[in-house]
Amino acid sequence: MRNEYEDYNPFFVKPHTLASLGLLVSVIFLISNTDVLFDQAAAAESDPRDIVPSPVAFNALKGVAVMFLGVGAIHLPNTIMTRPISFLWRVLLATFIMYIAFMTFLYMLPVSHARMFLTVFDSNLGKPLPERSYADDCRVYTPENPESQFANISGAVWDCHFLAHFAGWWGKMLFMRDWYIAWICSIMFEICEITFRHWLPNFYECWWDHLFLDLFGCNLIGIILGHFTLKYYGIPKIKWVLGSVKEEKKEGCATNKLKSLVEKIKPDILEHYQWSALKDTNRLFGVTAFIVVCLVADCNNFFMKFLLWVPPEHVLLQFRVVLIGLCAIPTAKEWYEFISNEHCHRLGPFAWCMIFNACIETLIVIKFQGNAFVAPFPMHVKIIWSVIGAVYTGLFVQAATNQMRTTKLNENEPTYNPYNPQITTEEH
């Protein structure tokens, strides 16, 4: 059977999802940092209050947002996720597209205008934030405190961010679905805090906070609970007895209806991802990219709130955390398929948007930082990353060795593509 694309150049037929993403980010960077479309100097010198839309214009933007959500819910393609219903994932994708569009809009503005534009959501924004450090007093025992002799630890434990931290790592384990990947991300984020704390006061934490409240506290407990959640949902439950008398009697009760609703909403089976980072070099780079995007998404939350003057408890940051967390579920699945399935050549929309978002938020941090992040890295940070580089080099050598062994074993085996099988017919 003739392929309808045989007359076209393969370059225009094959998907170039990552290449197009890189090209798009490069074009946006050039437009924002040159005078291609508008005078950058004149924009920077204009009154930042001019960028704030009137209430009428802001209501019109709300209508545009609702319209786009409706169009996306109806016409965006179904994603790799199907439960509970595909409609919800299309709405989530449309919301994520609007978010990265808004981030691109902020990136095009001077920093003063970007801060002022956020006042359309809250008039209290646009004001410098007080710098807060969590390492002012790192004593474990405080006998002079009348409320508690362990006031520093109890204050950190009963902080709202402690519960959010715990729930966050439970959720991260549910979309990473691999104990080693989650544990590496946990350790690497603590290293990122140590790396950038001379720039961001929020990253300063006491030694016991790093070790016992974060690394071996919230992070570890959340990962363990996520592991058992995956273990519970990872095996399909077989109902050996169907239509029993008791079930027939309870068929119409409210409890049974609620149970039926929960059964439809909850996941059927949570697949355990076999990332196999050392299988070959491509898989190692793919897993590394996944970890880097996760760390960038976490770090950008702190950098952007510092540069855009958004308080940590503000609803805008909470919305971002929830949105990124929900989108991380299909992102991990799409990226896992992209790097593990040799017949998958197109990156899914959630993973594409997540990488684009990491790039555009990083560009926002670089553009808006001014002279805020010019202090050199301390020597201990350089030593830490030198050790990480040496370890990664060893992992690369091991992955390359495994790749050569696999190639020798499979060089004589025929390849089979389940998405495009070769069918031969014989005449009788």
pLDDT digits (tens, 9 = 90+) for 94-121: 999 999 999 999 999 999 999 999 999 9
Higher pLDDT among residues 266 and 372, named by residue: 372
Q: Residue 225: which of 281, 167, 310, 272 has the closest Cα?
A: 167
Sign of torsion, CA 18 21 27 30? negative
> What does the alpha-carbon distance between residue 173 and residue 163 come to, in Å, rounded to a whole number?
16
pLDDT band at 335 (very low <50, low <70, confident <90, very high): very high
Q: Residue 333: which of 318, 344, 322, 320 has the closest Cα?
A: 344
The pLDDT of residue 56: 86
**Cβ atoms of residues 387 and 53 within 8 Å:** no
What mean pLDDT is predicted for residues 288-311? 94
How many C-beta atoms lie closer than 10 Å to residue 15's C-beta?
A: 11
What mean pLDDT is predicted for residues 177-192? 92
**Cβ atoms of residues 204 and 197 within 8 Å:** yes
**Cβ atoms of residues 356 and 100 within 8 Å:** yes
Give me the phi and psi of 205, to 5 degrees please. Answer: -135, 155
**Cβ atoms of residues 270 and 229 within 8 Å:** yes
What mean pLDDT is predicted for residues 301-314? 91
For residue 318, pLDDT over 80 is answered with: yes
Q: For the chain, what are the domain ranges?
A: 14-236+253-375
Higher pLDDT among residues 344 and 423, named by residue: 344
> What does the alpha-carbon distance between residue 17 and residue 353 come to, in Å, rounded to a whole number?
11
Token match 């509970």: residue?
A: 84
Joined tokens for residue 396? 């690369």
The pLDDT of residue 244: 44
The pLDDT of residue 36: 53
pLDDT digits (tens, 9 = 90+) for 232-277: 776 555 554 544 444 444 455 666 666 666 666 666 667 778 888 8
The pLDDT of residue 285: 95
Helices (H), 197-340: 207-208, 220-233, 245-249, 254-265, 281-307, 315-340
Joined tokens for residue 145? 């405190």
pLDDT digits (tens, 9 = 90+) for 381-418: 999 999 999 999 999 999 999 998 887 776 666 555 55
Q: Considering the chain, what percentage of its residues have pLDDT values greater than 90?
A: 39
| Virtual torsion, Cα 140, 143, 147, 148, nearest 10 deg | 40
Under DSSP, the state recorded for 356 is: H
> What does the alpha-carbon distance between residue 174 and residue 222 come to, in Å, rounded to a whole number?
10
Joined tokens for residue 149? 């002799």
Least confident interval from 16-20, 35-39, 401-405? 35-39
Prior bond of 84 cis (ω within 30°): yes
Three-state helix/strand/coil letters over 166-203: HHHHHHHHHHHCCHHHHHHHHHHHHHHHHHHCCCCHHH
Token match 């961010």: residue?
A: 161
The pLDDT of residue 245: 45
How many C-beta atoms lie closer than 10 Å to residue 270's C-beta?
A: 18
pLDDT band at 207 (very low <50, low <70, confident <90, very high): confident
pLDDT digits (tens, 9 = 90+) for 130-154: 776 665 667 666 666 666 655 666 6
The pLDDT of residue 289: 95
The pLDDT of residue 267: 63
- The helix, strand and coil proportions of the chain, stated in percent and rounded to the nearest 5, come to 65, 0, 35
Say whether 206 sits in a helix, a strand or coil.
coil
What mean pLDDT is predicted for residues 333-353? 89
> What does the alpha-carbon distance between residue 348 and residue 330 come to, in Å, rounded to a whole number?
9
What mean pLDDT is predicted for residues 207-219? 81
> What does the alpha-carbon distance between residue 138 and residue 153 come to, in Å, rounded to a whole number?
9
Token match 């839309």: residue?
A: 53
**Cβ atoms of residues 323 and 96 within 8 Å:** yes
**pTM for the full predicted model:** 0.83
Mean pLDDT of the chain: 81
Q: Considering the chain, what percentage of its residues have pLDDT values greater than 70?
A: 74
Q: What's the Cα-to-Cα distance from 413 to each of 81, 280, 324, rounded to whole Å? A: 33, 18, 42
Q: Which DSSP helix (H) or strand (E) runs through 87? A: helix 86-108
Q: Which amino acid is at 337?
A: E
pLDDT digits (tens, 9 = 90+) for 59-88: 888 899 999 999 998 988 888 777 777 888
CA atoms within 13 A on the CB side of 28: 24
> What does the alpha-carbon distance between residue 300 and residue 314 come to, in Å, rounded to a whole number?
16
